[in-house]
Amino acid sequence: MLLRIERRQVRIGMYVQEVEGDWIDLPLWFRGCRIGDAATLARMRDSRISTLVIDLGKGVGPAETTPFPALRPPLSPAPAAARVPPSPDLEKARATLRRTNAALRQIFRTVHEGRVLDPAQTRAIVDEVAAAMRHRPGALLGITRLKSKDEYSFLHSVAVCALMTHFARFLRLDPVEVQHLGMAGLLHDIGKLTLPEGILGKPEALSEEETRIVRTHPPEGFRLLAGQDVPDVVREVCLHHHERMDGAGYPDGLAGDQLSRAVRMAAICDVYDAVTSVRPYKEAWSAKTAYRRMWSWEGHFDRVLLGQFFRSIGVAGEAARQP
């Protein structure tokens, strides 16, 4: 059972499902974790979050309802304000992802089996994800950050789609271009369908041979989309989203002006979602840490677009203020 509580009610032993507040400033360790010690408790109490959703099935409740409430009659009923349904935004974002999940899996299967894709179906998903990102970005990205092995491909695709449409709107691009970029985000990793089971999501470092195999996914994705009725930019992003500005990327080692704006945007959104994702085997960076570290990677990204991207998601800073 999920229960929303105020920050002052937090205590050791609670399992925090979600936090609510200014989404971009929330440290990721606040989500999907148990409060196990006094230091974590203190950090949470000192944070700027307003309310939290805790899972009573995975941890203790607030002091008002524990310990052993059945052993003595309560002096008064539990405060009604503490028992509220989950946030409407979270519920709506989950509903979006439930609908999108089924449709996107069908699209992946269709492309993988070489059957013809219905472009209207892809457009409908992009429109739904873009609308969710417009109205409840914190809830949508909060959920997509938590990626289990089984759901990684789906949630990463949705997250990159959401970030691409958000970024494109921030850049005031034409609505049709926004939709095409969203579609590119949704399908950019479709070549991973061709990779052997066991390589994707592998917690240990990949061997040289496994790395070589993983690096085939951009051209494989391009090949899968070759006969499909999708905008050219979708195939282009699929093929080149792992290229770098300094030419050290793959598969073609393109550099600088050889990379279109769409490809440069996708490279940023793709890496941002990967590094801020919560996975069982790695640290998830906060938005600000991602900003600091991605900015320090010389030659990787288009610096102007990188600054604009972080400005678009509300991360301010010296670098983001540069043109």
**What does the binding site for Fe ion look like in residue numbers (CB under 5 A)?**
189
Cβ-count burial of 195 within 10 angstroms (0-12 exposed, 13-18 middle, 19+ buried)?
Answer: middle
- Cβ of 222: how many Cβ atoms within 10 Å? 19
Residue closer to Fe ion (CB basis): 31 or 188: 188
Residue closer to Fe ion (CB basis): 196 or 323: 196
* Residue with smallest beta-carbon separation from Fe ion: 189
Shortest distance, position 214 Cβ to Fe ion, whole Å: 8
Closest CA to 199 of 211, 191, 181, 183: 211
Shortest distance, position 61 Cβ to Fe ion, whole Å: 42
Shortest distance, position 237 Cβ to Fe ion, whole Å: 10
Residue closer to Fe ion (CB basis): 23 or 272: 272
Shortest distance, position 110 Cβ to Fe ion, whole Å: 20
Q: Amino acid identity of 205?
A: A
Shortest distance, position 31 Cβ to Fe ion, whole Å: 24
Shortest distance, position 297 Cβ to Fe ion, whole Å: 17
Residue pair 50/22 in contact by the 8 Å Cβ criterion: no
Write down the residue that tokens 């990967």 correspond to: 274
Closest CA to 281 of 221, 203, 178: 203
Shortest distance, position 271 Cβ to Fe ion, whole Å: 10
Residue pair 230/205 in contact by the 8 Å Cβ criterion: no
Residue closer to Fe ion (CB basis): 54 or 161: 161
Using CA atoms, how far apart are residues 93 and 290, in angstroms rounded to an integer? 24
Residue closer to Fe ion (CB basis): 266 or 306: 266
Residue closer to Fe ion (CB basis): 249 or 307: 249
Residue closer to Fe ion (CB basis): 18 or 273: 273
